[in-house]
Structure 1
Amino acid sequence: METVIELMSPQPICVTFDTPLHACAVKMRRHHLRHLPMTNGDGRVIGVVRDLDVFRRGVLAGSSGELWMPFHDADIDLEAGDVAEQPRVVVRPEDDLAGTLRAKLSTSQDYAVVVDEDGHPMGMLTEHDALRMAQALDGPAAPWLSEDPEGISADEQVADAWERMIVQGRRHLLILDKGRLAGVISLRDLSVGMGAFGREAPVGQIWRGERVHTLRPGQTCGEAAAVMVAERVGCLPLTDEAGFPTAILTRTDLIRALVEHLDRNDGVL
């Protein structure tokens, strides 16, 4: 049986209740993190700060990329404790991996916190971690596709695209040119772009024409996961022969496939 410790990212970087939001943003940017466990005076986990909750309130800008620019004056003095959420999946290192991933999928949270017997943080189990294991899946990716992917025009303002992502809980939007797939932009791209170009800049000013990684017909889940891991992308659109997007495969879709495989094989990959 696969266990949590085999997949978790150990020694998480943590914050406390009174850590300034600016410091949270810098930690996330420097270490490429989406989640920061929040601990109390005894070192026990009491919450988690997500990148969504940080960067919906401001962006990092300046030549160093570490100048905090809040969107509203009321958010200038915010601290980690003001934005942290309660983790719904808290597990031990020896817990069953399939059960942990299944529990995570049943929530709106994309992580599980791993603690010791006293509640001290030992690691984080995220979708990025699960994706590494999903590379071993040999079943077809097609059954796990999400249809009707969300798209935007390159002329749309960054602030509007940002708001759409936040409201809909999305981390990626397809950039369309006359309905055809032109690119993919992430929430992190938008947060960086707002700091550099402002909220009213067009999406096309942030997206610089990088190569679009797509799902090929007939690809397996493992092959798709390998592309996501190697290219550090969170989704693979599927297009028809004319270049119009018809579906999309996300990290979450692949984790569902991984859980289904573990369930069918008594928790063994």
Structure 2
Amino acid sequence: MLVEEVMKKEVITLPPDAKIETALKLLNKHHIRHIPIVNDHYEVLGIVSDRDVRDASPSIFDQNHSEQLTNEIQTIMSRPVITVHPLDFVEEVAGIFYENEIACVPVTDNQKLIGIVTEKDVLYTLIQLTGIHEQSSQIELRVENKIGTLPKITNLIGEHKVNISSVFIYPDKRHSGKKIIVFRIQTMNPIPVIESLKNHGYEVLWPNIPGVTK
């Protein structure tokens, strides 16, 4: 899935000379956590988070609180800013969030801001990709890491006239040379599929149904 499919196109922005109090009001009004800072050409100069603004906001016991809020937003913005392209993949954005410990990236095209992607957007996309929001059943298998294994299993599932909502594959940490395949199939009764997989020699890890998967 591409970034352009999940990004928010309506982005609240501020110029670098805007006041901190303006950012605070926008964050509260629109219930957002990040504001890109842009110039007149809509190029991204920096970004501020709700935490940046909160840390810059004075305590109620501070007598000079009004002066601090009138400081320009560029004094607290983070820069340089990591950005992504609309044709980047969402999983690449997830990697950026993890490696850089950030929760938001502006989306730019030709150096101009066109959208924004947050951790919440990526998490929701993951939920969609897993198919967990649909009525379905999950089957988890341990298989040898051999060419042709996946199409054999999908063909076997297809013989039961069952659609596959999603497939995830990852290395088996406990068994070198093996993979874990997680299928989500569009049926509330996976027993016939599980029995067929077992009869063809596949190791079913989940669901653990007595008399079927043991």
For this structure pair, what is the TM-score category when the shorter chain's length is used for normalisation? 0.5 to 0.7
- Give the Cα separation in 1 of the matches to 2:169 and 2:54: 35
- Counterpart AA for 1:21: I
Q: Tell me the percent identity.
A: 23
2:73 to 80, 87, 92: 80
Is the contact between residue 84 and residue 107 of structure 2 (CA under 8 Å) also seen in structure 1?
yes
Partner of 1:104: 97
1:114 to 107, 130, 135: 107
- Give the Cα separation in 2 of the matches to 1:83 and 1:18: 11
Q: Which segments of 5 or more consecutive residues in structure 1 lack a partner in the other structure?
A: 60-67, 140-219, 224-259
Detail structure 1 runs of 4+ shifted over 3 Å in the superposition: 68-72, 136-139
2:122 to 126, 130, 133: 130
Deviation of 1:87 (Å): 5.1
Partner of 2:42: 43
- Count how many residue pairs are aligned between Structure 1 and Structure 2: 138
Could you give the per-residue CA deviations for residues 110-130 of structure 1, whole angstroms, max 9, x where no partner exists? 11110111x211111101111
- Give the Cα separation in 1 of the matches to 2:61 and 2:33: 18
Could you give the per-residue CA deviations for residues 38-79 of structure 1, whole angstroms, max 9, x where no partner exists? 0113221110011101012227xxxxxxxx969572624311
Could you give the per-residue CA deviations for residues 234-254 of structure 1, whole angstroms, max 9, x where no partner exists? xxxxxxxxxxxxxxxxxxxxx
Is the contact between residue 11 and residue 121 of structure 1 (CA under 8 Å) also seen in structure 2?
no
Deviation of 1:261 (Å): 6.8
- Give the Cα separation in 1 of the matches to 2:115 and 2:97: 15
Partner of 1:95: 88
Helix, strand or coil at the partner of 1:98:
helix
- Counterpart AA for 1:114: V
- Counterpart AA for 2:72: E
Partner of 2:152: none
- Counterpart AA for 2:126: A
Helix, strand or coil at the partner of 2:122:
helix
Question: Which of the two has higher C-alpha Rg?
Answer: 2
TM-score of the aligned structures, taking structure 1 as reference length: 0.45
What does 1:135-174 correspond to in 2, within 5 Å?
Answer: 135-136=127-128
TM-score of the aligned structures, taking structure 2 as reference length: 0.56
Q: Which segments of 5 or more consecutive residues in structure 2 lack a partner in the other structure?
A: 135-167, 171-180, 183-214
Which segment drifts farther, 39-48 or 80-89? 80-89
